[in-house]
Amino acid sequence: MSRDPSLNGMIYFEAVARHGKVARASEELNVSASAVSQQIKLLEEMLGVALFKRHKRQLSLTLEGERLFMASSSAFGILKNARRVISRKRDSHQLIVKVIPSFAVRWLGPRLHSFITQYPEWDLRIDATPDPTNFEREVVDFDIRYGPSDWPGLYCLPVLHDYILPMCSPEYRDYLQGLNGTMEEKLQQTRLIDSVKAMLQWEAWLARLHFSRNADVPAIRFDRSSMAIQQAVNGVGVVLESTTLAVEELLSGKLVPAYSEVGAIKIPAYWVVSPSQHQSRKLYQLFTNWLLEEAEAHQIVTLDTLTKLGVQVIEDQVIDELLNPH
């Protein structure tokens, strides 16, 4: 009487086939390499066929191994989907959101008490991470992402336009105004602070004005907007950044527009991103409705602040030119 393969054997086989190495599979499964090898050997003996071709540094699948790998991958995928559905039903009062870190700290975090006060019965989990969700593998309701809305196969709900402006401390602006020469000549003496993950970079902004960057002035680069903004507040230099993230500093006077000659560039920046079927969840709808209300109120404050500071808003027609310079 023939026996069916053990579940452990199939799990070990699928991991080895996916990685092509026993060592990597053992790391993923948190077992010894010898245990993995033993399970593969038992599986091959039970099936009566070789599943792998043994090479010096790596394994490759035989024809029978490829057939089994395709079947096992499909089966484990079905099991994972079932687990997600069961988990979702079990945690139907929980909302899980991934948010880019600087937006989470500077914009979303200070406002969350409003949502929690309105809906105290719901469980809310916020993961601040720059890594987008793999919705096929992770149990996450939606991401709040920053970018140009090019995420194929996902529903993208616009939340906030952003206004990108060169900003600095009042003291640093006094230094700039004390320099002789044209704006371009002053820029050559300016320390520029880079946010390396921002959509609009200094190079594109300067190119639109037909200016070049002075390579002799040391650059300062940060992978978090919040850090770049703080250094501008500290008087280190001029940051080209989001007024959405820096509106409190603009309101308090800790930051000011660095140059009166240029305006704020309007770009579509922040999005709720998810598989379309996630929209049917009640808590998804409650949270996104609240989020849009907060965003609308914030937009009014931002535009009013820019107007009071004498900053002109440059509308959407320049976006492609700036984000995709030739």
What's the CATH superfamily of 91-160+271-296? Periplasmic binding protein-like II (3.40.190.10)
Q: Looking at the structure, give the CATH architecture of the domain made up of residues 162-268+302-323.
A: 3-Layer(aba) Sandwich (3.40)
Q: Which helix (H) or strand (E) covers residue 129, if one does?
A: none
The candidate with the shortest Cα–Cα distance to 147, out of 250, 242, 232, is: 242
Instruction: Show contacts of 232-235: CB within 8 Å, 24+ apart.
Output: 232/167, 232/168, 232/169, 232/172, 232/193, 233/169, 234/169, 235/168, 235/169, 235/171, 235/172
pLDDT digits (tens, 9 = 90+) for 113-148: 999 999 888 889 999 998 899 888 788 899 999 988
pLDDT at 229: 95
Contacts of 184 (CB under 8 A, 6+ apart): 209, 211
3-state helix, strand, coil in the chain (%, to 5): 50, 20, 30
Could you report the per-residue pLDDT of 70-95, keeping only the tens digit for each?
A: 999 888 888 877 776 665 554 567 88
The helix/strand count (H/E) of the chain reads as: 13, 12
Outline which parts of the chain fall under CATH 3.40.190.10: 91-160+271-296, 162-268+302-323
Q: What is the mean pLDDT of the chain?
A: 88
Report whether 271 contacts 145 (CB < 8 A).
yes
- The tokens 């060592």 sit on which residue? 23
CA angle 254, 318, 101 (to 5 degrees): 45
- 3-class SS at 63? helix
Within 8 A by CB and 6+ apart from 116, the residues are 124
- Percent of the chain, pLDDT > 90? 59
| Structure token pair of residue 299 | 């937009």
CATH T-level assignment (fold) for domain 7-89: Arc Repressor Mutant, subunit A (1.10.10)
| Cβ neighbours, 10 Å, residue 313 | 16
H/E stretch holding 323: helix 319-323
Q: Which tops the pLDDT comparison, 154 or 56?
A: 154
Confidence bin at 209 (pLDDT 50/70/90): confident
* 278 Cβ contact list (under 8 Å, min separation 6): 141, 142, 155, 284
